[in-house]
Amino acid sequence: MTKSSIALKETLKNMEIPFETTNVRIYNKDFEKKLRKSDATFAKGEYTVITPDDLKKKIRL
């Protein structure tokens, strides 16, 4: 649990706002794995920057 989620829970409790937490996954495991891999690749600087001019050349406007 992150510091911000703990702080949010405490704030809601102090304000007497009802809430519940769940462990239900929003995405399937394979998709989450792809997201983590993509984040790691980006963090290493392994990505391609595409400028508007690059797009114009591709679609020949």
Residue 58 has pLDDT above 90, yes or no: no
0.75 surpassed by pTM: no
User: Tokens 């114009």 appear where?
Assistant: 56
Positive/negative CA dihedral, 47, 52, 53, 55: positive
Report the chain's terminal Cα–Cα distance, integer Å: 49
List, for residues 7-54, the tens digit of each pLDDT value.
999 999 999 999 888 888 888 999 999 999 999 999 999 999 999 998
Residue 61 has pLDDT above 70, yes or no: no
Confidence of residue 2 (pLDDT cuts 50, 70, 90): confident
Query: In this predicted structure, what is the pLDDT of residue 51?
Result: 93
